[in-house]
Chains A and B, each alone.
Chain A
Amino acid sequence: DAKTTQPNSMESNEEEPVHLPCNHSTISGTDYIHWYRQLPSQGPEYVIHGLTSNVNNRMASLAIAEDRKSSTLILHRATLRDAAVYYCILRDSDNAGNMLTFGGGTRLMVKP
């Protein structure tokens, strides 16, 4: 799977929007962009995924650049419960095992 690059950490204020960036300049045409987050002492939790078009769900929005070399996870209104490590992962749709390869992620800190 192609590699992603994320900032090690970011800070946000409670009730403000958060934009978490991810660069994936070597993305291939069959790679889906997945986001997971991991709260303290928990396993990772699926957030959202997409291929080319922007995606919205109840947790977040995913904005994908037109050239697909970068994407941004948007939390519309951060809460203290959103403090977690956020992982941006590329998964090749042709990967028979569907394995996810995690990087270091971005640790999001939310200030009250």
Chain B
Amino acid sequence: DTGVSQNPRHKITKRGQNVTFRCDPISEHNRLYWYRQTLGQGPEFLTYFQNEAQLEKSRLLSDRFSAERPKGSFSTLEIQRTEQGDSAMYLCASSLVQGIFSGYTFGSGTRLTVV
């Protein structure tokens, strides 16, 4: 297992278009998280899944955002009708929650630029 994989690494899209990002977590990890990071800021939590269930969504996750994790494996994050303010790095992380929490493993992110 090579860690958390995110695709694509970069995405440039025109305002108003829809985009979808994919995250492949570490296979035995049962939790998957999405974060967003803008330049010069720390990552901000968007949502998380335990297996296939989406258990929490941040207020940052507007109606234009939707995330899925079918079958509790990979996850997708879709942004509809993109706006320039959506330009950011979108980070995925996974963790195994069994007893003691031991930390997240992050992917390298998908950098979205909305023009």
Q: What residues of chain A have their CB less than 8 Å away from a CB belonging to chain B? A: 32, 34, 36, 41-46, 49, 85, 87, 91, 93, 96-105
Asked if residues B106 and A43 are in contact (CB atoms below 8 Å), the reply is yes
Chain B residues with CB under 8 Å of A87's CB are 42
Say yes or no: A98-B97 contact (C-beta < 8 A), given A44-B43, A104-B41: yes
Are B31 and A98 in touch, CB under 8 angstroms?
Answer: yes
**With A and B bound together, what is the CA distance between A45 and B95 in angstroms?**
12
What are the residues of chain B within 8 A of A43 when measuring CB–CB? 4, 91-93, 106-109
Contact in complex: A45, B42 (CB < 8 Å): no
Per the bound structure, the CA–CA distance linking A101 and B46 in Å amounts to: 11
Complex alpha-carbon distance, A100 and B56, angstroms: 13
Chain A residues near B44 (CB, 8 Å)? 102
A93 vs chain B, min Cβ distance (A): 7
| 11 pairs, CB–CB < 8 Å, chain A vs chain B | A42-B109, A44-B43, A49-B103, A85-B42, A87-B42, A97-B55, A98-B97, A99-B48, A102-B43, A102-B44, A105-B42
B60–chain A nearest beta-carbon distance, Å: 12
Task: Using CB atoms, name the residue of chain A closest to B41.
Answer: A104
Contacts of B43 in A (CB 8 A): 44, 102
The residue among B41, B43, B45 with the most chain A CB atoms within 10 A of its own CB is B43
B51 CB to nearest chain A CB (Å)? 13
Measured in the bound complex, the distance between the Cα atoms of B49 and A97 in whole Å is 9
Quick one: which of B33, B41, B42, B56 has the most chain A CB within 10 A?
B42
Which residues of B68-114 have CB atoms within 8 Å of chain A's CB atoms?
A: 91-93, 95, 97, 101, 103-109
Contact B108 A42 (CB under 8 A): yes
B40 to chain A, nearest CB (A): 8
* Closest chain A residue, CB of each to CB of B42: A102
Would you call A101 and B101 a contact (CB within 8 A)?
Answer: no
Which B residues are in CB contact (< 8 Å) with A100?
45, 104
Docked complex Cα distance between A102 and B97 (Å): 20
Shortest Cβ gap from B7 to chain A (Å): 14
